[in-house]
Amino acid sequence: MPQPEEVVFPRRRERFEDRRKEGQQRKLLDEFFDHATLLAVSRLISQGLFDAIDFPVATGKEGGVFRASKDGEYRAVKIYRVGNTTFRHLPPYALEDLRREASVRNFGGLVAAWTRREHTILGRLVDAGVHAPRPYGHYRNVLVMEFLGTEAGGAPRLKDALVEDPQRLYRELTDEIRRMVVGAKLVHGDLSPYNTLYWQEYPWLIDVAQAIPREHPQAKALLERDVTNFAKYLRHLGAEVDRASFLSAVGVDEVGPPAAG
């Protein structure tokens, strides 16, 4: 039954909802779009990488992904927060290269290096045939890449997706990880259903900045952890998964430091 104020002021709830949305948008603007980031976004727009930012797709402590428009199509704009929060939970191996490019106290420099790294790794993955967002460009803490999703929003994370054929997903994941390991010669290092998207019935690998060369001393242990995470998830869906066979199929024997001599 309508409340009295809703009868007298039938648009009051709509006006409140509009104010609430405006408040949320203002909060996002304050959190992500400081002066330096606005300048970076403006530069990327002037380069023709996108026309305007539409709305947020996903936000977190380290950064956020926004849908952007480009000539009637969509692109994804990933914005990293500039601060120590971005690097607080990263393992030491993921910071090795960054420390060669910027001081550990220069958070702006570290974030720019991290953004550039993700752009480069995405390019390597796409070139190797991996389902990963195609990178289009970057500047400072802003990365522009392929948008996965529809007009209504972004593609779901794998953990939230409806998977009708778990056994097929197992085969697809095996192919994607193998292309990453054998083709791109990289190990993700933090792969799970939480940072894999499910789009057009394929898994897409994202959040790849922490990936390391397959020759890295820790690469084999990290690949084994990635596969273990997915084996557990796939069994939960009902797929028949043998961890040893999974590891062999993704090319674990090609991972690790080269043999001495």
Active site members: 190, 207
C-beta separation of 83 from 105 below 8 A: no
Q: What are 68's strand-pairing partners? A: 53, 75
* Pairing outcome for strands 73-80 and 142-146: antiparallel
Contacts of 197 (CB under 8 A, 6+ apart): 148, 154, 155, 156, 157, 158, 203, 204, 206
C-beta separation of 196 from 172 below 8 A: no
3-state DSSP of 193-206: CCCEEEECCEEEEC
Sign of CA dihedral 229, 133, 249, 198: positive
Contacts of 92 (CB under 8 A, 6+ apart): none
Q: Residue 7 and residue 9: Cα distance in Å, rounded? A: 6
Tokens of 207: 């959040």
Q: How many alpha carbons lie under 13 Å from residue 249 in its C-beta half-sphere?
A: 16
Considering only CA atoms, which of 83, 28, 97 is closest in space to residue 56? 28
C-beta separation of 162 from 155 below 8 A: no
